[in-house]
Chain A
Amino acid sequence: MADIKDNETSVVPGEAVGTVAAQSIGEPGTQMVLRTFHSAGTASVVVSKGLPRLIELIDARKRPRFPSMHIYFDKGISSKYEKVREIWRMLEEVRLSSLIKGFDEDLRSATLTLNLDRDKLALYELTSRQIVAKLAKREGLQASAEGDIVKAKINKRESLKSTRTVFVHVLKSAIIGIVGISKAIIQQSEDGTFFIVTAGSNLEEVIKISGIDATRTYSDDPFEVNKVYGIEAARNIIANEIMQTITEEGITVSFRHVGLLADTMCSFGAIKGAGRHGIAGNKESVLARAAFEETVKHFINASVFGERDMLRGTAENILIGKQITLGTGRVRLSVRKSDIAKLSKK
């Protein structure tokens, strides 16, 4: 009985699964909201939702508009708020420029004088000495502190321009936290364990922190996941994120369609979008590519390089008016040479 049911639900050979998937995702997509919502004042992280997020994922944009991370912890830590908070303090990026009241650059002696903001320092439990230590770590920089005044001097000055570049970099540098993470919020899941949601992401650096469970911590930027965890994890992130985006809108799409899309996007070993630079642009057939977008470009390139079209796909066979290779049209009849010999003998 289970066998029969299994056979009933499996896909028939020759079924146009890609087209079905495209329609199954595309039609509900027309009902999605175009606007990105911002909820001000709530203790949450801004994430893009709805159609913009879906487009971002499917087009495989290199830099998502609002990247975010979910950070999970090892067993001993995840249920203890104090320990989670300790790690949390290491996450949020605090730049030097946000810790000062003002600064003065002396280009002649290549000295940057910073006037630290005491209240801000107290907020992050920092001392001016810590800042000096952090600055001194930079190559070719000398730092010293007198009360709230911190002086950073460049040892070897080359040109005015390079001096200024260093100053700007110093001001922008992160004193505590991880570059790219602008906000981090501790949240509690249903089973009582804590996890952190961040705005901005830097997976590579975050999983280096001890106490973080690297098997569950993830970024919602597929490219970053690909770099840190590999292509399979990136595929799972793409599928998960598309699924989540669609489900949030109150629409149901079977996972198989989304999974197929994610599979195809990741089938080249790197993440490719669905558009003309990705999946559609990588089709083998000239006619199929020309039928999609940039018709003239594809014909010109094909004629210059002497490309061949084997007429195996669907689009090119519709173009030339032949039977398409789907369903029963996919079945081909071939005769063994030995059989022909037998026939001719008769």
Chain B
Amino acid sequence: MEPLKLIPKHEVLSDSAAKAVAKKLNTPIDKFPKILASDVQAKLLNAKPGNMIAISRHDPAGEYAYYRIVVPG
């Protein structure tokens, strides 16, 4: 099996894009997986708590976007 690429691409979504994602997935914002504001990748993007980060994953099961909400910490 090809090992996963260690660090996938992270991207901060605009508030309107985040809302659209939450609506499309029919999930309230606070139920999304979290990422700490102190996380290395969140810091690199200068993401603030409340922002949504889109992650382009390349799993053996396929390519897809994964979303995380920045939380304080």
Contact = CB atoms under 8 A, between A and B. Distances in A.
B36 A270 contact: yes
Contact of B6 (A236, A244, A255): A236
A153 to B, nearest CB: 41
Given A243-B1, A255-B59, A269-B34, A229 B73 contact: no
B35 A269 contact: yes
A218 B4 CA distance: 12
A256 interface: yes
Interface string B23-49: 000000000011110011110000000
A232 B4 CA distance: 11
B65 to A, nearest CB: 12
A105 interface: no
A230 B60 contact: no
A269 B73 contact: yes
Contacts of B33: 263, 266-269
Contacts of A232: 7-8, 10, 35, 41, 55, 57, 66, 68
Interface string A236-277: 110110011001000000111001000100111110000000
A230 B7 contact: yes
Given A230-B41, A255-B60, A255-B61, A236 B36 contact: no
Nearest to B8: A232
Q: Which 7 A-B pairs have the closest CB atoms?
A: A230-B41, A269-B34, A267-B33, A269-B36, A230-B40, A236-B4, A255-B60
Interface of A: 215-216, 218, 225, 227-233, 236-237, 239-240, 243-244, 247, 254-256, 259, 263, 266-270
Interface of B: 1, 3-8, 10, 33-36, 39-42, 55, 57, 59-61, 66, 68, 71, 73
